[in-house]
Amino acid sequence: MQEDIVKPIQKNDRIDYLDILRGMAILFIYSANILFFSGIWFPPANGAKYVLPTDAFFDFMNYVLVDGKFYSIFSLLFGIGCFIQYNNLTSHHKKFAPFFRKRMFWLLMFGLIHMFLIWPGDILTLYAFLGFFLTWFVEKSSKTLLITAVILILFPLVNWAFMQYTGNFYPGFFFQKSTAIYQHFGMPVIEQEGHLQTDIGAYLVNDNLVDFFKMNLGNGFLRIAMILEEGRIFKVFGIFLLGLWAGRKIMKENLLDNTAFLKKMFLIGTLVGLPINVLRGYIEFYTEPSDAQHLFHTLAYALGTVPLALGYAAGIALLVKKEVKFLNWFKPVGKTALSNYLFQTVISIIIFYGFGFNLTGKFGFTYVMMIGLGVYMVQIIFSKTWLRYFKYGPMEWLWRKLTYGISLKIKK
């Protein structure tokens, strides 16, 4: 009976590169998320996005080099992790699909709580929802995975064209639901382009904890609407499939030892992705919003953001292969990525929100990035210290315990 129990992957079976890459993704995802927490995206009347001479430059560079790239890498890692778990289970003659669906169920529970009660920028809910469908693809041929991935990464263009030319703005249902919840609870709304919308600026400076939870119920539907509007479902799942392909190549063909392939991927990803992202940044910062601009953003993600993300992943793999020492600082955060991702939300709410230290809108871009880096440095120290005494991060332990359904010791 004991042989039938599915157990977590052991420490000796972990791949350092994946932990390092995951730790780096957590840092740069936070550099994007903190722009919401800090109020940079929704500055109050007395706030300012640019205070120092460096603000505009760092904002532009963050948009060109970071925006979208590291959640793409995180999506790639999700697909790789899925295949590693599939390989681990099937090599021990155990069924993969029931296990993985149970794993996704509990991740979905974490995500829904996070998105509807704490922070609308959650990515766990989307990942868990799409994760249920990954089981259909894990045994598909590499050719099928790559072709389907390319189609899905490009599919947001079809999503944009459908809404643009049919006039069927289907995400509007969720935008309206968000506003309706705000109005039901008497929370502040604003009028923009002839439509009532939730007042995110008021949400950030709100100092009432009960109202915080009420507004988050509406903000969760706002998040769903934005995901549907940009077609993120398609592109994230497409990158998941690239991850499945990469995971198969890593486990079956030692992809991480294929220096020639990694160099080729780094060069192609950088040479293709970087110019497109520079152009994307120029259009975002120096042109007026328009339908054409929206179309180009959608196109640039597929043709620029994904290739650059893959170039980053390949470049980091080459550095890990050369045993560049400073990369090991990212490893503890990568091993406790779920915990650190959720802790970033809690820490940021305490620092910036109205019922915390109420610092939203008080800092320009450079200072906000410095605060984010400071938080991440604390997470490196905490994660490294924690893993001296415990096998897993606190949320990783809970997720494993719920998924595997066994008594799981957390202490070393």
Closest CA to 372 of 407, 337, 398, 348: 348
CB 198 within 8 A of CB 217: no
260 C-beta neighbours (distance < 10 Å), count: 7
pLDDT of residue 4: 47
Which run of H or of E encompasses 56?
helix 55-65
Q: What is the pLDDT of residues 182-203, one digit of tens each?
A: 999 999 998 887 788 899 989 9
pLDDT bin (cut points 50, 70, 90) of residue 6 is: low
Six-digit token string for 119: 């922070």
Of 168, 165, 162, 160, give the one whose Cα is nearest residue 301: 160
Q: Which tokens is 319 given?
A: 């550095």
Residue 289 has pLDDT above 90, yes or no: no
Q: Output the CA torsion 172→175→180→185 (10° steps).
A: 180
pLDDT (tens digit, 9 = 90+) per residue, 16-44? 999 999 999 999 999 999 999 998 887 65
3-state secondary structure 184-195: HCCCCEEEECCE
Could you give phi then psi for residue 49, rounded to 5 degrees?
A: -75, -40
What does the mean pLDDT of the chain come to?
91
Say which residue the tokens 């903190």 belong to. Answer: 34
For residue 117, pLDDT over 90 is answered with: yes
How distant, in Å, are the alpha carbons of 67, 96, 267 from that of 48? Answer: 21, 51, 38
| Cα distance between residue 112 and residue 274, in whole Å | 35
At residue 7 the predicted structure's pLDDT band, cuts being 50, 70 and 90, is low
Judged by DSSP in three states, 68 sits in coil
Selection from 285, 172, 157 nearest residue 230 by Cα: 157
382 pLDDT more than 80: yes
Q: Which of 350, 354, 348, 347 is nearest to 207 (CA)?
A: 354
Q: What are phi and psi of 322, to 5 degrees?
A: -85, 0
The whole-angstrom separation of Cα 392 and Cα 85 is 17
- The DSSP element (H or E) to which 364 belongs, if any, is none
DSSP readout, 141-171? -HHHHHHHHHHHHHHHHHHHHHHHHH---TT
Q: Model confidence over 45-82: pLDDT tens digits?
A: 555 677 888 999 999 999 999 999 999 999 999 999 99
